[in-house]
Amino acid sequence: MTNQPDNEIEHTAASCNGTLSAIGDAIYVIGGKWKLRIIIALRDGNKRFNELQRTIPGISARVLSNELKELELNGFVKRNVYIQTPVLVEYEVTEYSHTLKEVTTALVAWGTMHREKIVKERKLQSANGN
Is position 75 within any domain? yes
2 within a domain of the structure (yes/no): no
| pTM of the predicted structure, to 2 decimals | 0.80
Q: Is 24 part of any domain? A: yes
**CB 55 within 8 Å of CB 41:** yes
CA distance 128 to 87: 61
Query: pLDDT, tens digit, for every residue of 17-50?
Result: 888 988 998 998 998 999 999 999 999 999 999 9
72 domain residue, yes or no: yes
Which residues, 6+ apart, have CB-to-CB distance to 101 below 8 Å? none
Neighbours of 71 (CB within 10 A): 25
Is the pLDDT assigned to residue 1 strictly greater than 50?
no
Rounded Cα gap, residues 28 and 79, in angstroms? 21
Chain segment 63-82, per-residue pLDDT in tens: 999 999 999 999 999 999 99
95: domain range?
15-127
- Residue 61 pLDDT > 80: yes
**Count of domains forming the chain:** 1
Count other Cβ atoms within 10 Å, centred on residue 129.
5
Question: Is 8 within the bounds of a domain?
Answer: no
CATH of the domain at 71: 1.10.10.10
- Higher-pLDDT residue of 11 and 12 is 12
